[in-house]
Amino acid sequence: MTDQTNAPRHAPLAGVIGWPIAHSRSPRLHGHWLARHGIAGHYVPLPVAPEHLAEVLRAMPRMGFVGCNVTIPHKESVLALADVVTDRAALMGAANTLIFRPDGKIHADNTDGYGFMANIRQHAPGWLPDLGPAAVLGAGGAARAVVAALLDSGVTELRIANRTRLRAEQIRAEFGPRVVVHDWAGAGAMLEGAITVVNATSMGMVGKPPLQVPLDALAPGTLVTDLVYTPLVTPFLAEAQARGCEVVDGLGMLLHQAAPGFERWFGIRPAVDEDLRAAVLA
């Protein structure tokens, strides 16, 4: 028999796969946590073209990877390649976190909704979801995570508008009668009376067109958040703040959604704090 006690033990590897991936802040984020906790592990960006996704996922556990994050354009495709899919990932139709289990199976999860809610709870601790309607702009993958999280939190009416109305109608069909669809042309009007407003589109991001939704109906004290975090304060948030709203930027969602994966891969639940924000923004 071979004596295994002196066999080399490799530092656990994790990473983020996407195409492209150079823009990702996840390596800086996880690198900060690894250094803080003195963990002998590594987190690396992995550019993976769609046609190579299945081959790469099969090879990663044999290379010492314990898991990875998944970003555009692979978040939907990995579900068909996973052996185990959590209920929330199935509901979202997408995964952002993979765990490579010791038995060789790939476990797929979606922590975007968790990240969204944890960001709100951290930066707006007095927010109460059931005091009035929520309004969501957009109906893509990120919006689906937001809708599910808000409904789970107790929002009694969720208004949604998207440039392509059909996508918003699909969300209503899946999530039920608490979701009320509005035309994109009337998106400004649906903000009236809302106590929570979310931009879940990419509009307002650096390099993207601005979000051209009138905010006249926003009431002071409304919680307004933007999933975009480049720039950190979008024109949407700046105008909402000028109208007396409570604003929460989108960076915290990125930070909080990362914590469950890090814990599963490296065995420690990391803190999301100001040091982490500073490291990611540096």
Q: Report helix angle 165-175 to 141-153, nearest 10.
A: 40
Q: Is 208 annotated in the active site? A: no
Nearest CA to 120 out of 223, 263, 5, 273 is that of 223
Q: Which residue in the list 30, 32, 74, 75 is annotated as catalytic?
A: 75
Binding residues for NADP(+): 87, 138-142, 162-167, 227, 250
The bridge status of strand 246-248 relative to strand 223-226 is: parallel
**E strands along 60-183, which residues?**
65-70, 84-85, 97-100, 106-109, 134-137, 158-162, 179-183
Binding residues: 24-26, 71, 87, 96, 112, 138-142, 162-167, 227, 229, 250, 257
CA distance 47 to 54: 13
- Residue 13 vs residues 30, 31, 128, 203, 265: alpha-carbon distances, Å: 11, 11, 39, 34, 8
CA distance 193 to 15: 42
Residues serving a catalytic function are: 75
